[in-house]
Structure 1
Amino acid sequence: MLRTIGAVVGGYVAIFVMLFGTFSLAFLALGVNGAFQPGTYDVTPVWLIVSFVLTFVAAVIGGLVSVIISDDPKVPRALAIVVIVLGVITAIQIMSADPAVVTRGGEVENIEAMMSAKQPIWVALLNPIIGAIGVMVGARLKRPRPSVARAV
């Protein structure tokens, strides 16, 4: 049981670390004007595409980590459920957020960008699905150990 919990937590930590790192790099690579629409914190279509790819890749890694830790191909299902539940909670928060447009000045720090970014609601609803699919794909990347036939 502890190994299962550790596998789910380990997979989720892997997803979090990958997302934080890759989104930070993507923001640095695209810059403020590549990530946001002019004068606002509304994300650009390019940012949306990048975020979908990064979300999927991070989830694949999380699924792989969870199956490596657990050595059970069924455990990543629990991680996929966690990803969906937390993603839906995040989507609800985004849907209930103040829709007021916040104007953006010139340069923006990475943390401020993460806290202020506005994504469409459909993106918030799609991300948990992408994440869950990625987790299950990652879980399938680890080949099962071949069973050793015993001589009778």
Structure 2
Amino acid sequence: MQTQNYNNHKKYYAPHHFIFLPLLMILLIVGVWNFFTDEDNQLIWILFSVVVFLISYLAIMLRQHYALGNQDRIIRLEFKQRYFEIFGGRSDEVAEKLNFSQVAALRFAYDDEFKVLIKRALSENISGDEIKKAIKKWRPDNNRV
């Protein structure tokens, strides 16, 4: 497996991103195309296109909503656990000052950089993307949704 870093840390689910969604897009294009070319059945092609669009929209939104909501909760819990292990105290006060983007970015840093970056995030309010770019030794997260 390739070593994870800032440039390659995004993850795709092949059946969803490269088969299901492109197939729905092709069906939508066919429906819209036939709406303009098949004058006898325009109403049917409008209905077909609307149904395909709604299925596409639901597929994208539901998958993202459930998976990312659960993943966000797990990332917050991992942050609290890791903070406790490193600093020996509760993270409630710190977690309130950080936004989710910052918390999520900190998971890619090993413990020594985690300490430094958490202090920078609190004092300089650097963004999650800036935190990711500041990481020198990337700690991969290969279990993301």
Rg larger in structure = 2
- Could you say whether these structures have the same fold, taking a TM-score greater than 0.5 normalized by the shorter chain as the test? no
Output the TM-score relative to the length of structure 1: 0.26
**TM-score, normalised with respect to structure 2:** 0.27
Using CA pairs under 8 Å that are at least 6 residues apart, name the structure with larger relative contact order, 1 or 2. Answer: 1
Q: Which has the higher helix share?
A: 2
